[in-house]
Structure 1
Amino acid sequence: MDEQALLGLNPNADARYRQRAMAYFEQLKESQDAWEVCAEALAKGIYNDDHVKFFCFQVLEHQIKFRHAGLSAVQQQLIRETLMKWLQCQLMNAQPEKPFIRNKAAQVFALTFIMEYLTLWPKFFFDILSLVGLNPHGVDVYLRTLMAIDAEVVDRDILHTPEETRRNTLIKDTMREQCIPSLVESWFQILQTYQQSHPELTCQCLEVVGAYVSWIDLNLIANDRFVNLLLSQMSVEELREEACDCLFEIVNKGMDPVDKTKLVESLCQVLQSAGFFNEEDVDFLAKFSRLVNGMGQSLVLSWTKLAKAGNVKDAAETLQAVEAKVPLLLQLLVHEDDDISANIVGFCYEYLHVLKQVNRKQRNAIMLAVMKKLTYDDEYNFENEGEDEAMFVEYRKQLKMLLDRLAQVSPELLLEAVRRVFTNTMQTWQTAPFMEVEVAIRLLYMLGEALPASHGAHFSGDTAKTSALQDMMRTLVSCGVSSYQHTSVSLEFFETVVRYDKFFIVEPQHIPNVLMAFLDQRGLRHNSPKVRSRVAYLFSRFIKTLHKHMNAFIEDILTRIQDLLELAPPENGFLALLTSDDQLFMFEAAGVLIVNGESPVERKQALMRSLLTPLMDAFQRPSRGSSFMRINKQTVKQCGCTEVYRDCLQTFLPALSCPVQRGVLRSSVRSFLHRMIICLEEEVLPFIPAASEHMLKDCEAKDLQEFIPLISQITAKFKRQVSPFLQQIFMPLVLAIFEVLARPAEDNDQAAALEKQMLRRSYFSFIQTIAGSGMNEVMANQGAENIERVVFTIIQGAVDFPDPIAQKTCFIILSRLVELWGGKDGMVGFPDFIYKHIVPACFLAPLKPTFDLSDAQTVLTLSECAVTLKMIHLKRGPEFIQFLQQEYLPSLQVSPEISQELCQVLQQPDVKVLKNYIKVRVCLFYPRYTVGSLLLLLHFSKL
């Protein structure tokens, strides 16, 4: 071997040696026989350097994985001998190889097994077992190899081709017939022999058993000898967690529901007799609760199958078995360790889902357990949330699922329980711990999503159904709990107030008190930035919903929030109470109040000008960004504020030529224009051409992608009013898009590729908007050369880009263009374009290997392809049928019978017939829904 190149394998080698090593690796991989020196080095143990050994295995791995079929019989035999000689060396070594070398060796063994077990090496396992015996070093490699085989052959998380799937199925079938009993016996011997001396090998073996039990005969494992051994190992500290996982895999094996019930019940009896139901070791309980969860879910699934099959007797016995596990379920659900509790949620959820006849006592016990576990603990860090806090938030989401399920099973019971907890807590909130107060309000909040609307979630006015919620909301806003000094309680109070904002429509007398809570130190002026930020958003939502009830408070609110709207930082040296993003919501709330108030027009105009003048002044200072443009989306003509918004436009538009923070400025101005199109309607039109001219200068992909929706919005809203403008801007916009798409990018630059894909989609969407807007003249007046260039990009998008969303849009455009220009009075020359380009596109697009009907968008693309063909027939009639039968299809060697069949389907009046015809053809001959050639499908006989 090239010793100098091998020096580059050392992690500390310099760049020159590393490059030489990489080149040497490529040389050995591609050579017909140079790799054999690596095989020799492994077989004879020539090198002691771990990196060289790993290198040799990598070279060998490449030969097996990619070139095995091209190796001679002698070379294939050399690989087998190399592996066995290397393994034999391991048996004699005092110290085992490093784990990363053993893992790589196991991968190479597994690849060799996959390639040769069915043909060249049927005694693979027997050869290894006879060599290894019970040598611990050899057993280690054997077990690692079994796990590597599982990853390649069995693991459902790894995608396989149909050919690989068939091969893997055949491998498993052959193993069941020839060697699985021997493998199971070897596992038993390993578990029994090494549980004291080598616990790490025993754990490895337990992992193997758990992996293989899903597809081998369960009787080989679920027998007294094996289960007793596993149960004995659950009492050994080093083994118990792996043994528990192994039992979990056994329980999860698919099998007859009656047999599954018997298996679970017998296992439960043994576990209970051995005292595991009273286990206190937290680490073990995390595994044990997962096992109990698996047993419970298995029983529920068995009960479901038996009940559906009408097997009353066995279903009743299984239901009894499920009910018997509920005490254990509750014991684990309320455990103080959230990981243990979380592991049992699945069983609890399934239990509530299918067993709606569960008795009230058990329902109530589960409900109380969920309420208890929702409570924060003392260690939760609200100011600096980390991984532990994030895990608890996720755990709370799981508990919410249980609460929702309880609401479906017994809404009255849930409402009664929450009301009891909430009322008791609110009566003593001044002295109660924060976690009790927070969870009481949280439960009220959760009711809104858990209870069906028929139970008053929206305060419909039906007193019988809404009285409980109204009583609790009345208590919440009047008991003073909004003053509780803890971040979590403050946030929960405001979240709940806004969650039930419809309550204030029913009882508006509570609005002033809640407004004060929003505006003072409890909300927008809270000492926590986190609370202030969230309350700013919630305040905006509250105002939007209840603005009709705010008229008496508008000017008072505006006065109280005036300092919160100031754009300059405070002069006292302190940080502003709200960030610029938070201020957006305050401006929005202020705008809603002014526009929707009942003040005279002159007063509204004055208030709006007072609100926006500081903003415009600040905007004109270069140091300020353009972050404050989201004001008010509602129509403003009636309130007399049009002039103020026009002034804003006059102020903001010059910023488009500013070279500083250009991306932020453009984005903000675009956002403002979107809103002004709604607010000012046609009065915004004079500002659009100048804005567009600026936005098309020095564009990036993202700029154009965000600009196109603005033009599409204008097109859809104003239609013919903007036709001259669209005709003027059409080609400059298209050319800007072409220029950006043509810019070179690195092959591995995924971000750039995604930006271009999204821009291409936006471009096609823009063309679709223009084509579908009824303004035929916009594209028609661009000149023949430009039209042809644009339409060719549509053909390219329909056929060449592996993006079904874009393809679908392109076929919609083509269909529309055929409708506009494809008739006898259509555009000159367009019929020829139809026959030369659009018709072939309809047949060539499904030819692409990326055209995959397992994707929903591709299904829609195929439908639009059919619609396009149908539209061509509608516009060209018999001429199109004649073209297909006499010219196009014969040029593809399609038989007359198949051509006639397709043409008959095309002439059916309902386009659904054509859509179904194409889909059925595709699905019939491509069961994995990977679509091949539509042309080839046409050659098959009739259905």
Structure 2
Amino acid sequence: MGSALHEFESAVLLSFDQTAPAHLRDVALSSLEALKLSSDSISFCLQALGITGEACVKFWCLQVLVDVVRQSRYSTLAEGEQAALRASLMGWAQTKGAPQTDEAPYVKNKFAQLLVALLKVDFPHKWPHFFEQLLGTLQNGPVAIDFFLRLLTSVHEEVVSSDGSGFDASVAARIKDGMRDRCLPQVADAWLSILQLHESAPELAVACLHTIHLYVPWIDINLVAPPHPPRRFLELFVAFLHEPQLHENSCLCLTELVGKRMDASAKLEHLDSLAVVRLLANVAASGVALSAPFAALVAAVSLELLDCWERLALRAPPSADGSNLSASASSSLRAAMPLLLTCLSSPLLEVSQCTMNFLHAYVGRLRKLAPSRDELSAHEEHLQQLLVGMARKSVHPADYCFEAEDEAEEAFTAYRREVATLFKGVARVHGSLAQLFVRSTLETTLDAIESAPWAHVEVALWLLFQLGEGLPDAAIRDKEGVFPLMMTRLLSSSASAHPHQAVQLLYFEIIVRYYRFFLAQPQYLHTALSSFLDGRGLRNQRLAVRSRICYLLLRFVKLTLKAAPPQFVDAVSSLSLALSLSPSDEPFPLEEPHLANERAAAAPSGAACSGERANGPALSGSPEALPLSAAEQLNLFEVCGLVLGAPLAQPRHVAELLEVLLTPPLDRLQRLCEVGLSPPTAHERQHRRAAHPHAAGGLRARAASDSSDEVFFAA
């Protein structure tokens, strides 16, 4: 086979060489394709596999054999030919053992794929002793062990896992049943032997752990976690948690062990026998760094206990035994919570994130499982710790940039949204606890607002902002409740004048979100409105704050107008001054808002990063240097129209204010009309300039549509 093998190897090498001349590659590919279709391709590839030293040639031969087995050609072979193929492949595997017999990873993976393809056709009826034969090769050395583990992994990926595109439930059941009947105890013994090589061959131990976690869901649990000692697998899994190289895959194995599907009472007994809560607490106490896999393991244990508690508590018909088991599950869950909350509080976002699925389930089910205050009190301590943990994890990094978020900041923002959902869930389950926590946090922060970091002030306000969605409307309107006390404390603080933009904006967002508080206690409307109109709001030097305030002011007025005091009319005078100074001779066209965005991006006062620009002076006593964009002006015009359209002042006074408002845009429109026909190149520009006063007048007319005719006749 010497010259033929040499030509064959050259053709294969050419076929893989993308830099080779095209005509040579075409010739090589044609000859290889002819070889695939020839009647002796199987025997040729088997011979070449045992002789060649080129890894890519071995790969090509194995791929041809995979195609033979997967396609109809293998089924047409005589029984003897099929047996010869199986024997040849097992013989090749038996030559592997010592390090010098190792193959390239892609060759080993392709060989495992070929054996699995044969298993899908011939196991167990035609090849019943396959696994016994493969287990017999393990004594040959580390290469044989590596082949064995890759084969088991390939069985999972291509046969057992339903995620594969070629999944066949009947084939999967046949192979799993065949393995259960013939070899799984021996496979488990082999795993244990391989794990004991962790000091001399840690890479094999890692691969073995990965394989074990794939098989635990469907093999007999007693093979790896017997109900009584010795529990050699469990001891190794826990010991490996202290080994950085083995830690992650040990966590995966333990996660699968606790997640094994069982009846609720059997699952609770299984978890108790493993003593997994105590074991993990001891591991964490020993100083092992919290990792994402470890946090996921703790969350999995907690979720299993929660499921047991729920299934046992709701089991019908009720029984004394069921009640005792349910109480035991609840007690075990409470024992697991401290470690779970420690994982939540990890400074690493990916670790904390692993606890979220469980916490959402825990909070969501508490209302059903602990409907009474007495039952809920058993979990109150952990809910309190959960609130503290969420608050701490929601604090922005000191260098956070709101205007140009990077990948880490985007991840934090997404995480914070999830925390907000969880926080509102706690507020729904235990509203009084959430209110008292937010009140304590808010008061402590506002008392030290001058020295507190901006991120601490922001998160205290953020908690108040989120709280309302978890509370009933009555809690916000209740004049004697905790919530109104927090609102009055906020209104009396200097938060609205805080030097950081994030705090300023959040203050105004809170004012608008909780407009119902102002409807119930209208005496605070003037205080809130004043903050909108002065240097904290409309006269703020930061463009981003000022722009948002114009929108929020419109919302606030719309929502509270029915309870507005006569002093609201005075706001029109302040707005008239700002509107009389804007727009400049070059207003921003309504139909081209991107120009306004470009202007905002160019303005340093609109910075949102938490450095010097976001913490510098933000307040201005005069609006002269702060012209408003067209969109901002239109919001303010509508505010004026709403206020003047409400019966808050005498018609004569309303008419005077209307005249003040109408005069500047009408004068400007008059000047534009007097210009006459503009040159063609400037016509579109003049049209856009004229659009603004028309739109302003239209908004005023729409907002004031409920006014009496007397006001407009007087005007």
- Pick one of 442, 446, 450 that aligns with 1:430: 450
Q: 1:188 to 1:542 in 2, by over 3 A?
A: same
Offset of 1:424 from its aligned partner? Answer: 2.0
Contact kept, 8 Å, 2:638 with 2:700, in 1: the verdict is: no
- Pick one of 249, 269, 272 that aligns with 1:242: 249
Name the TM-score, length of structure 1 as normaliser: 0.58
Paired position in structure 2 for 1:589: 635
Q: 1:606 to 1:76 in 2, by over 3 A?
A: farther
Contact kept, 8 Å, 1:437 with 1:489, in 2: the verdict is: yes
Tell which deviates more after alignment, 367-376 or 588-597: 588-597
Offset of 1:416 from its aligned partner? Answer: 1.4
Paired position in structure 2 for 1:199: 202
| Alpha-carbon displacement from aligned partner over 1:234-282 (angstroms, at most 9, x marks no partner) | 3434323322221111111111323322332333368549931303332
Structure 2 matches for 1:413-424, cutoff 5 A? 413-424=433-444
Offset of 1:445 from its aligned partner? Answer: 0.9
Contact kept, 8 Å, 2:579 with 2:633, in 1: the verdict is: no
| Residue 302 (str. 1) matches residue 308 (str. 2) | yes
| 2:275 aligned counterpart, secondary structure | helix
- Pick one of 532, 547, 565 that aligns with 1:514: 532
Letter aligned with residue 525 of structure 2: P
Paired position in structure 2 for 1:212: 215
Percent identity of paired positions between Structure 1 and Structure 2? 27
Offset of 1:337 from its aligned partner? Answer: 3.4
Letter aligned with residue 198 of structure 1: A
Offset of 1:52 from its aligned partner? Answer: 3.8
Paired position in structure 1 for 2:493: 479
| 2:499 aligned counterpart, secondary structure | coil
Contact kept, 8 Å, 2:12 with 2:28, in 1: the verdict is: yes
| 2:100 aligned counterpart, secondary structure | coil
Contact kept, 8 Å, 2:97 with 2:140, in 1: the verdict is: no
Contact kept, 8 Å, 1:605 with 1:639, in 2: the verdict is: no
Paired position in structure 2 for 1:729: none
Contact kept, 8 Å, 1:520 with 1:526, in 2: the verdict is: no
Task: Measure, in 2, the Cα distance between the counterparts of 1:536 and 1:51.
Answer: 68
- Pick one of 325, 329, 337 that aligns with 1:314: 325
Structure 2 matches for 1:785-796, cutoff 5 A? none
Tell which deviates more after alignment, 93-102 or 121-130: 93-102
Paired position in structure 2 for 1:721: none
| 1:239 aligned counterpart, secondary structure | helix
Paired position in structure 1 for 2:507: 493
Structure 2 matches for 1:603-642, cutoff 5 A? 639=701
Q: 1:15 to 1:621 in 2, by over 3 A?
A: farther
Q: 1:270 to 1:536 in 2, by over 3 A?
A: closer
Task: Measure, in 2, the Cα distance between the counterparts of 1:213 and 1:177.
Answer: 16
Offset of 1:171 from its aligned partner? Answer: 2.3
For the aligned residue pairs, the C-alpha RMSD in angstroms reads 4.5
Paired position in structure 2 for 1:409: 429
**Matched residue pairs, number?**
623
Whose relative contact order is higher, 1 or 2, with alpha carbons under 8 Å and at least 6 apart?
2
| 2:387 aligned counterpart, secondary structure | helix
Letter aligned with residue 314 of structure 1: L
Contact kept, 8 Å, 1:210 with 1:246, in 2: the verdict is: yes
| 2:602 aligned counterpart, secondary structure | coil
Structure 2 matches for 1:61-72, cutoff 5 A? 61-67=66-72, 71-72=76-77
| 2:137 aligned counterpart, secondary structure | helix
Contact kept, 8 Å, 2:259 with 2:300, in 1: the verdict is: yes
| Residue 185 (str. 1) matches residue 231 (str. 2) | no
Q: 1:423 to 1:133 in 2, by over 3 A?
A: same
- Pick one of 107, 111, 116 that aligns with 2:117: 111
Contact kept, 8 Å, 2:424 with 2:469, in 1: the verdict is: yes
Offset of 1:611 from its aligned partner? Answer: 9.4
Task: Measure, in 2, the Cα distance between the counterparts of 1:32 and 1:605.
Answer: 93
Contact kept, 8 Å, 1:132 with 1:139, in 2: the verdict is: yes
Letter aligned with residue 353 of structure 2: A
Task: Measure, in 1, the Cα distance between the counterparts of 2:169 and 2:687.
Answer: 58
Offset of 1:65 from its aligned partner? Answer: 3.3
- Pick one of 129, 133, 151 that aligns with 2:135: 129
Paired position in structure 2 for 1:654: none
Letter aligned with residue 319 of structure 1: S
- Pick one of 560, 566, 574 that aligns with 2:588: 566
Paired position in structure 1 for 2:709: none
Tell which deviates more after alignment, 306-315 or 265-274: 265-274
Paired position in structure 2 for 1:176: 180
Task: Measure, in 2, the Cα distance between the counterparts of 1:44 and 1:614.
Answer: 95
Contact kept, 8 Å, 1:604 with 1:640, in 2: the verdict is: no
Task: Measure, in 1, the Cα distance between the counterparts of 2:464 and 2:92.
Answer: 67
Task: Measure, in 1, the Cα distance between the counterparts of 2:691 and 2:163.
Answer: 47
Paired position in structure 1 for 2:602: 575
Q: 1:301 to 1:159 in 2, by over 3 A?
A: farther
Offset of 1:205 from its aligned partner? Answer: 0.7
Letter aligned with residue 302 of structure 1: C
Contact kept, 8 Å, 1:595 with 1:604, in 2: the verdict is: no
Task: Measure, in 2, the Cα distance between the counterparts of 1:154 and 1:625.
Answer: 70
Q: 1:430 to 1:183 in 2, by over 3 A?
A: same
Letter aligned with residue 504 of structure 2: S
Structure 2 matches for 1:353-364, cutoff 5 A? 353-354=365-366, 355-356=369-370, 357-359=375-377, 360-364=380-384
| Alpha-carbon displacement from aligned partner over 1:168-199 (angstroms, at most 9, x marks no partner) | 2232223222222221121112112x211111
Paired position in structure 1 for 2:62: 57
| 2:408 aligned counterpart, secondary structure | helix
Offset of 1:536 from its aligned partner? Answer: 6.9
Q: 1:272 to 1:228 in 2, by over 3 A?
A: closer
Tell which deviates more after alignment, 563-572 or 209-218: 563-572
Task: Measure, in 2, the Cα distance between the counterparts of 1:287 and 1:259.
Answer: 25
Offset of 1:220 from its aligned partner? Answer: 0.8
Q: 1:399 to 1:41 in 2, by over 3 A?
A: farther
Task: Measure, in 1, the Cα distance between the counterparts of 2:119 and 2:686.
Answer: 67
Structure 2 matches for 1:630-779, cutoff 5 A? 639=701
- Pick one of 469, 475, 487 that aligns with 1:449: 469
Offset of 1:203 from its aligned partner? Answer: 1.0
- Pick one of 463, 469, 475 that aligns with 2:479: 463
Contact kept, 8 Å, 2:668 with 2:693, in 1: the verdict is: no
Q: 1:42 to 1:151 in 2, by over 3 A?
A: farther
Q: 1:470 to 1:515 in 2, by over 3 A?
A: farther
Contact kept, 8 Å, 1:110 with 1:148, in 2: the verdict is: yes
| 2:451 aligned counterpart, secondary structure | coil
Structure 2 matches for 1:852-891, cutoff 5 A? none
| 1:562 aligned counterpart, secondary structure | coil
| 1:133 aligned counterpart, secondary structure | helix
Structure 2 matches for 1:244-323, cutoff 5 A? 244-268=251-275, 272=279, 275-282=282-289, 284-309=290-315, 310=318, 311-323=322-334
| Alpha-carbon displacement from aligned partner over 1:561-601 (angstroms, at most 9, x marks no partner) | 6359535799999935889xx96853662564476554779
Tell which deviates more after alignment, 206-215 or 501-510: 501-510
Task: Measure, in 1, the Cα distance between the counterparts of 2:25 and 2:334.
Answer: 64
Q: 1:51 to 1:413 in 2, by over 3 A?
A: same
| Residue 526 (str. 1) matches residue 526 (str. 2) | no
Q: 1:35 to 1:368 in 2, by over 3 A?
A: same
Contact kept, 8 Å, 2:484 with 2:517, in 1: the verdict is: yes
Offset of 1:612 from its aligned partner? Answer: 9.4
Offset of 1:290 from its aligned partner? Answer: 2.1
Offset of 1:472 from its aligned partner? Answer: 2.8
Residue ranges of structure 1 left out of the alignment (5+ in a row) = 642-943
Offset of 1:156 from its aligned partner? Answer: 4.3
Offset of 1:33 from its aligned partner? Answer: 4.3
Offset of 1:415 from its aligned partner? Answer: 0.9
Q: 1:203 to 1:372 in 2, by over 3 A?
A: same
Offset of 1:449 from its aligned partner? Answer: 2.0
| 1:485 aligned counterpart, secondary structure | coil
Residue ranges of structure 2 left out of the alignment (5+ in a row) = 1-7, 590-594, 608-627, 646-653, 704-715
- Pick one of 316, 325, 328 that aligns with 2:339: 328
Task: Measure, in 2, the Cα distance between the counterparts of 1:340 and 1:615.
Answer: 63
| 1:432 aligned counterpart, secondary structure | coil
Letter aligned with residue 248 of structure 1: T
Paired position in structure 2 for 1:679: none
